[in-house]
Chain A
Amino acid sequence: MSSAYLYSILATATIFTLLALALNIITGYAGQAMMGIAAFFGIGAYTAAIITTNGGNFLLALLAGMLVSGIFGAVLGVISLRLQADFLAITTIGINFVMVALFNRLKITGGTLGLTIKKPVLFGVKMNNTYFFYMTVILIVVLCLLLGKMRRSWFGMALASINNDPGAARSFGINVSRYQILAFTIGTAVAGLAGGVYAHRMGFISSSDFAFVVSIQAVSMVVIGGLGTLRGPIFGALLITSLPEILRFADDYRELVYGLLLVLMVRFMPEGLIGDDSPVWSALMKLWRKFVPKKKTRADLIAESVEGGR
C-alpha cells in the first residue's frame, strides 16, 4: 500500500472524525436530534474556500468558516427550542436540502460548477494530504482536550442534565435554552472548521459534497461508535470512512456488505461498538483493569458503599 493512498484515506478519515465530534456535541451531549450537519460542514467549506480563492490567508479562512457556520448554528439553536425531538430532526434535514439548493444556485459558491481551490501554503510549505492529516489530528487532540474539560465543567453537567430530563434540569434552575443554543453553536462551528479543512484537502467542492447522505453518514459514525462518548465518534468516523476502501476485496458486493455491516452493528450493539454500555467496551475495560488496578476516587468509594448497602 503506497503511503500516498494511506495518507489520502487518513486525511479524509480525520476530517470526518472532526465532523463526527461536532455532531456528537449536539446529539450526544445535548441530546438534540441533528440530521443536517452537512449543511454546516458546507457553510464552513464554502466560506473558507471563497476567502482563500480570493487571496485570503488559509488559517484565517478556517476561522471565518468556523465563525460563519457557528452563527448559522446559533440561529438553528434558537429555532430548536420550539421543536421537539423528531420534528427537530426533520427540520434539520430540511435545512440541509435548502443549503444544498443555495450552494448549487448562488454565484458566490460557483453555482453548479462548484469551486476549484488551490492547495494552501502554510508556513512556506504547500499542503498535501500528509500535512492535512497531521493538522487535523492536532485539531482533534485540541478539541478533545477542550471537550474533556468542558464535560467536567458546569456547562457539561448542565448539558448532561438537559439530555437526561430537560424538565428536571429546568427545575434545578439550569437555563436550558442558553445551554442548548450554546451546544448548537459550538457543534456547528466545529463542523464548519471541518468543512474548511475538507474544501482545501479536496481542491474542488460542489453542492453534492454536502448532501443529506453526508449528514446521514455522520450520524452513522456517531451511532456506530457510541453516542455521547469521546472515543465513540472517533472510532466510528475512522471505521465508516475507511470501510469503502477496506471492503474493496468484496468487489461488486462492496456497497451491499457495507449496508449489511451497518445493520448488524446497530442490531447487535445499538449502544455503539465502544459506547458506554457496549459489551466490547466493558470487556476492554475489564482487561485494562486487570493490568492497571484502578485508583479509587472519592466518588467511587461513595458509589461502592451505596451499592454495598443495598
Chain B
Amino acid sequence: MKKVLALVLTLMMALSLVACGGNGSTGGDAGTAAPSSPSTTTTAPSGGDTSGNSAAPALPETIKIGFFAPVSAAAASADGASAINSAKLAVKLVNENGGINGSKVELVDFDDGLDTTQAANIAEKLAYDDSIAAVVSGSYSGPTKVAAPIFQDAGKLMVSAYAVHPDVTGAGDLIFSQSFPGAVQATGAAVFTAEQLKATKVAIIYVDLDFGTTQVNAFKAKLAKDYPDVHVVFEQGVAISDSDLTSVVTAAAASGADLIYSVNYYEQAAEVLRQVGLQGLNIPVLGTEGADSWMLLDIAGEYANGLYITTNMNRDDQNEQTQAYIKNYREEYGIQPDMVGASVYDAFQVLFEAIKNAGTDSAAMRDYISGMKNFDTVTGTLLYYNAEGSAVKPIQVQLVTNGEYHYAGIVDDAQIIDPANY
C-alpha cells in the first residue's frame, strides 16, 4: 500500500506543478477558453481586409516568425538543412533590405526531429505565443498535418512550404500550402508523358508514402481518362528506407516499358537512373519534384542526363527573384539550392508580402493571401490561392543535360493546375 501511496503523492505533485504553471499565463490555456471556431476570434479589424491599397499597417518593432523543420532526424536531415538554410536566408535578406516597412524580422526556429509528438509540442508553444506573427512549416506531411489544426484552433496563420499530404489545408482557413499537391504534378506528368514523350508503355516505381501513392493514383487516372492508348505495364512501391532498387529496375525493364515513371525522392530516383544506365537498359526516366536536388546529380553522375522531372522551380527562369535566390543561396552555403529550399523561401516571401500589406493580424493576413494574384516567387508565378488555401502555379518540366537542370516545358492548363479539381 505504501508504494501506491507514494505513487499517488508523486502524481499529485506533478498535478500541482501543472496547476502552478497554469496560473501564470492567461491567454495560453488550451482548455475551455480556447475557441472552437476560428472565425469568431479572428475577426478582421475594420478596413484591414482591403489589401494593399490602404496606408501601411502598424507593425511591431520586430516581427517574429515561427518555423519548424526536421533538422536532427538522420533520414530527413538533408531536407531539414535545406529548409532551415532557406528560412535563415529569407530572413537575412529581408532585413538587409530594410525589413518589412522598417520592422526587423526575427526567425524563431525549432527542430521537430521528424517526430509528430515533438511537432505537436512545438505547435502548442508557437500557437499560444502572442509575439509570434505567423508560422512556416518546413517539415514533412506528418509533423505539418499534426501542427495545422493546433494553429487553426489558436487563430495563428501557417504556411506549409512543401508537405505533400493532400489534406494539410483541410485544417481550416488559416492554413495555406505553398506546394503542389501530388495530384496536380502527376496529372501534369501524365499529359507530358503522352503528348511530349509519346510513351505508350509506362513502368511506375514509387515510394510507398503519401508522396508516392497520391501521384501514382492521379497519374493513372489521367491516363485512363484522356489517353487510353498509354498503358501502365508495371507498378511497384518501394519502402522509403530501401536503397536496393536493382531487382525492381530489372523487372521494370523486363515488362517492356518505354518509359519509367519514378515517383521517388532524390536518393532512390538516383539509384533508378544508375541502374538503368549501368544495366544498359536505355529507357528514359520521368521523375518528380522529389528528384529535384543537386544531390541526385552528384550521385547519379552521367546517368542523370536525360532525366525529366516535374517540379516547381525553373532554373532557366529569367525572373529576378529566382536568379537572385539561386545566387544568394550558393554564396551563403556553397551548394546549389533545391526544391525544398526554394519552397520554404517562397513561403516566407508570401508571408512577408502579407505582413507588409495587411499587418500581423491573422485574419487580415488570411484575407490578403487569399486575394493574392500573379505574385512572382522563386518557384515561378503564383497565380492565386484556391478556396482550400493551396497555391496554384504552373508545373515546370525540367530536363537534365550536362549535369544541370534546364527548361524542358511547362504545363499551365488551368484545369490541371488547380488542386480543387481533384
Residues of A at the B interface (CB closer than 8 Å) are 1-10, 12, 104-105, 111-114, 116, 125-126, 128-131, 133, 137, 140-141, 144-145, 148, 202-204, 206, 208-209, 230-231, 234, 241, 244-245, 248, 252, 254-255
30 residue pairs of the A-B complex, CB under 8 angstroms, read A2-B28, A3-B18, A3-B22, A3-B25, A4-B28, A4-B125, A5-B128, A9-B121, A10-B18, A105-B208, A113-B210, A114-B145, A128-B34, A130-B29, A144-B4, A144-B7, A148-B3, A202-B116, A203-B146, A203-B149, A204-B142, A206-B142, A209-B116, A230-B7, A244-B118, A245-B118, A252-B71, A252-B72, A254-B111, A255-B72
Decide if B145 touches A116 in the complex (CB within 8 Å): yes
Q: A205 CB to closest chain B CB, in angstroms?
A: 8
Decide if A128 touches B31 in the complex (CB within 8 Å): yes
Could you say which of B3, B32, B127, B212 contacts A4, with CB atoms under 8 Å apart?
Answer: B127
Decide if A3 touches B21 in the complex (CB within 8 Å): yes
Q: A230 CB to closest chain B CB, in angstroms?
A: 6
Decide if B125 touches A5 in the complex (CB within 8 Å): yes
For A203, list chain B residues within 8 Å (CB).
146, 149
Decide if B21 touches A125 in the complex (CB within 8 Å): no
Q: A12 CB to closest chain B CB, in angstroms?
A: 5
Closest 9 CB pairs of A and B: A2-B28, A8-B124, A4-B30, A5-B125, A255-B72, A4-B124, A4-B128, A3-B22, A112-B213
Complex CA gap A131/B29 in Å reads 12
For B22, list chain A residues within 8 Å (CB).
3, 6
Complex CA gap A90/B224 in Å reads 44
Given A113-B213, A129-B30, A133-B18, 20 more A-B residue pairs with CB atoms under 8 Å apart are A2-B25, A2-B129, A3-B24, A5-B125, A7-B124, A12-B117, A105-B208, A112-B210, A112-B213, A114-B210, A128-B30, A148-B1, A202-B146, A203-B146, A206-B210, A230-B3, A231-B7, A244-B115, A244-B118, A245-B118
Digitize B10-37: 1 where CB-to-A-CB distance is under 8 Å, 0 elsewhere. Answer: 1100110010011011001111101010
Decide if B124 touches A2 in the complex (CB within 8 Å): yes
Decide if A204 touches B125 in the complex (CB within 8 Å): no
Which residue of A has the minimal Cβ distance to B114?
Answer: A208
For A105, list chain B residues within 8 Å (CB).
208
Which residue of A has the minimal Cβ distance to B19?
Answer: A3
Knowing A112-B210, A113-B166, A208-B142 are in contact, say whether A1-B21 is a contact too (CB < 8 A). yes
For A9, list chain B residues within 8 Å (CB).
121
Q: A294 CB to closest chain B CB, in angstroms?
A: 9
For B72, list chain A residues within 8 Å (CB).
252, 254-255
Tell me whether B8 is interfacial, beta carbon within 8 Å: yes
Decide if A202 touches B121 in the complex (CB within 8 Å): no
Decide if A202 touches B120 in the complex (CB within 8 Å): yes
Complex CA gap A128/B149 in Å reads 12
For A204, list chain B residues within 8 Å (CB).
116, 142, 145-146
Tell me whether B113 is interfacial, beta carbon within 8 Å: yes
Could you say which of A3, A112, A141, A248 contacts B30, with CB atoms under 8 Å apart?
Answer: A3
Which residue of A has the minimal Cβ distance to B28?
Answer: A2
Could you say which of A4, A114, A137, A208 contacts B11, with CB atoms under 8 Å apart?
Answer: A137
Complex CA gap A126/B90 in Å reads 39
Decide if A255 touches B113 in the complex (CB within 8 Å): yes
**Which of B117, B120, B141, B210 has the largest count of A CB atoms less than 10 A from its CB?**
B117
For B32, list chain A residues within 8 Å (CB).
125
Residues of B at the A interface (CB closer than 8 Å) are 1, 3-4, 6-8, 10-11, 14-15, 18, 21-22, 24-25, 28-32, 34, 36, 71-72, 110-111, 113, 115-118, 120-121, 123-125, 127-129, 141-142, 145-146, 149, 154, 165-167, 170, 208-210, 212-214
Decide if B29 touches A4 in the complex (CB within 8 Å): yes
How many A-B contacts if CB must be within 8 Å? Answer: 131
Decide if A8 touches B149 in the complex (CB within 8 Å): no
For A245, list chain B residues within 8 Å (CB).
118, 121
Which residue of B has the minimal Cβ distance to A148?
Answer: B4
Decide if B117 touches A130 in the complex (CB within 8 Å): no
Decide if A113 touches B146 in the complex (CB within 8 Å): no
Which residue of B has the minimal Cβ distance to A292?
Answer: B2
For B165, list chain A residues within 8 Å (CB).
113
Complex CA gap A231/B11 in Å reads 11
Q: B128 CB to closest chain A CB, in angstroms?
A: 4
Decide if B3 touches A8 in the complex (CB within 8 Å): no
Decide if A111 touches B21 in the complex (CB within 8 Å): no
Complex CA gap A7/B170 in Å reads 25
For B21, list chain A residues within 8 Å (CB).
1, 3, 6
Knowing A112-B209, A202-B116 are in contact, say whether A2-B125 is a contact too (CB < 8 A). yes
**Which of A2, A4, A128, A234 has the largest count of B CB atoms less than 10 A from its CB?**
A4
For B214, list chain A residues within 8 Å (CB).
112-113
Complex CA gap A95/B272 in Å reads 30
Could you say which of B31, B113, B170, B208 contacts A104, with CB atoms under 8 Å apart?
Answer: B208
For B1, list chain A residues within 8 Å (CB).
148
Q: A149 CB to closest chain B CB, in angstroms?
A: 9
For B123, list chain A residues within 8 Å (CB).
8
Complex CA gap A310/B24 in Å reads 59
For A111, list chain B residues within 8 Å (CB).
213
Which residue of B has the minimal Cβ distance to A97?
Answer: B239
Complex CA gap A203/B6 in Å reads 34
Complex CA gap A8/B24 in Å reads 16
Which residue of B has the minimal Cβ distance to A110?
Answer: B210
Q: A19 CB to closest chain B CB, in angstroms?
A: 12
Decide if A5 touches B124 in the complex (CB within 8 Å): yes
Complex CA gap A137/B115 in Å reads 23
Q: B141 CB to closest chain A CB, in angstroms?
A: 8
